[in-house]
Structure 1
């Protein structure tokens, strides 16, 4: 069952805010009132995960300009996130929130929990200011994600939200033409 168009379910969790060096509490309410990216990954102190999280950090400034906050989530604790941040060259660069999900509730809510391993799958979700999931991507453990694609997806989601009745075609770029679905377009694209 797809989470697209559904509101994020309730959760509360402890997190390490790598930008401030502080432990904080995060809930589903933090995902409201702004655009959010929730990026699940299997585990701290692994191999593909630090490359993905560093890549996401490389896009963080651009995402912040778009009004997006980033939350990375694994089933590790917030303490483990801090230890990883303190010992990894890649993770020490992060400035966004690293959410601990040892209860696995958030991973279950987003339907990315691998029940057999107890770890989250590589899931990325774009959540709008109402707390509604607008985009989702889930990859197998061995396939790292490309965070640069998130900037375009967020821009498209924001455009569609701000321009009811218009949709963004494949490979849409900010400023390019959109489509207005109507009977006149049926069979003409």
Structure 2
């Protein structure tokens, strides 16, 4: 069942705030009132995961400029996140929040939990300020994600939110032409 167009479910967790080195409590309410990217990954101290999280950090300033907060989530604890941050060259660069989900509640809520392994799959979600999922991508364990693709998706989602009645076609970029769905367009695109 798709999560697109649905409000994120209630949760409460402890996270490691990589930006200031502190543990914080976080809930679904933290993801409301702003745009959010939630990036699930299988586990700390692994192989593809640090490459993805470092790549996401490389886009973090641009995402912040767009009014987006970033949250990474795995079924590890917040203590494990801190240990990884303290011992990995790639992860030590992170400035965004790393949520611990040892109860697997958040991973289940977003339907990315591999029940057999007890680990989150590689899921990325764009959430609007109302807490509604606007985009989702889930990759197999061996396929790393490219965080730069989030920028145009978020710009499109923000444009559509701010311009009711308009939609963004494939490969739309900021400033590009949009469409106004109507009977006049049927069969003409």
TM-score when normalising by structure 1: 1.00
Shift of 1:147: 0.1
**2:33 corresponding residue in structure 1:** 33
Shift of 1:29: 0.1
**1:116 corresponding residue in structure 2:** 116
TM-score when normalising by structure 2: 1.00
> How far apart are the structure 1 equivalents of 2:138 and 2:92?
25
> How far apart are the structure 2 equivalents of 1:175 and 1:10?
36
**2:148 corresponding residue in structure 1:** 148
Counterparts of 1:53-132 in structure 2 under 5 Å? Answer: 53-132=53-132
Counterparts of 1:38-49 in structure 2 under 5 Å? Answer: 38-49=38-49
Deviations 1:74-97 (A, max 9, x none): 000000000000000000000000
**1:168 corresponding residue in structure 2:** 168
Shift of 1:118: 0.2
**1:184 corresponding residue in structure 2:** 184
> How far apart are the structure 1 equivalents of 2:37 and 2:27?
14
> How far apart are the structure 1 equivalents of 2:36 and 2:47?
25
DSSP-derived class of the 1:184 partner: helix
DSSP-derived class of the 1:138 partner: strand
DSSP-derived class of the 1:95 partner: coil
DSSP-derived class of the 1:73 partner: strand
Taking only aligned residues, the RMSD between alpha carbons, in angstroms, comes to 0.2
DSSP-derived class of the 1:54 partner: helix
> How far apart are the structure 2 equivalents of 1:152 and 1:93?
24
Shift of 1:172: 0.2
Deviations 1:89-113 (A, max 9, x none): 0000000000000000000000000
